[in-house]
Amino acid sequence: MVMLKCPEGNAISFKNISIAIAVALFLFYLMLIASLFGFMDRATFFSAISSERVWYSIKLSFFTAAAAAFLSVLVAIPAAYARAITFQGRLSLTRFSNFRS
């Protein structure tokens, strides 16, 4: 387990740092959404969000995200399996996948 030491001597784990960053990112996005109401009133916001173009964009974003996740899994599972088993050429595959430019 990766542990970082604070000046006070308390250890901070990678898990705690990850959770803190995720919460900070969530709060940042929440503030961005809340700031919309500072620039427009409720009627304008709801008329914009009920627009057909906006709903098309939202549907397209969800479809694209789902397709990207599906393709990632489609590639990642066989790649992980290939890295896990022993076969001729495994060393070459490992060297290629660990290449850093």
Where does residue 9 fall: left (phi above 0), alpha (psi -120 to 50 degrees), or beta otherwise?
left
Say if strands 3-5 and 11-13 run parallel, antiparallel, or are unpaired: antiparallel
Domain spans, the chain: 1-39, 51-101
Residue showing tokens 């066989």: 78
Tell me, what DSSP letter sits at residue 5?
Answer: E
pLDDT tens digits, one per residue of 25-55:
999 999 998 888 888 888 888 888 899 999 9
What's the pLDDT at 68?
97
This model's pTM is above 0.85: no
Whether the predicted pLDDT of 82 surpasses 80: no
Angstrom CA distances, 93 to 72, 89, 101, stand at 19, 6, 16
What's the pLDDT at 15?
85
What's the pLDDT at 99?
62
Q: What CA–CA distance (Å, rounded) separates 33 from 61?
A: 17
pLDDT tens digits, one per residue of 83-92:
777 777 777 7
Q: Which amino acid is at 48?
A: A
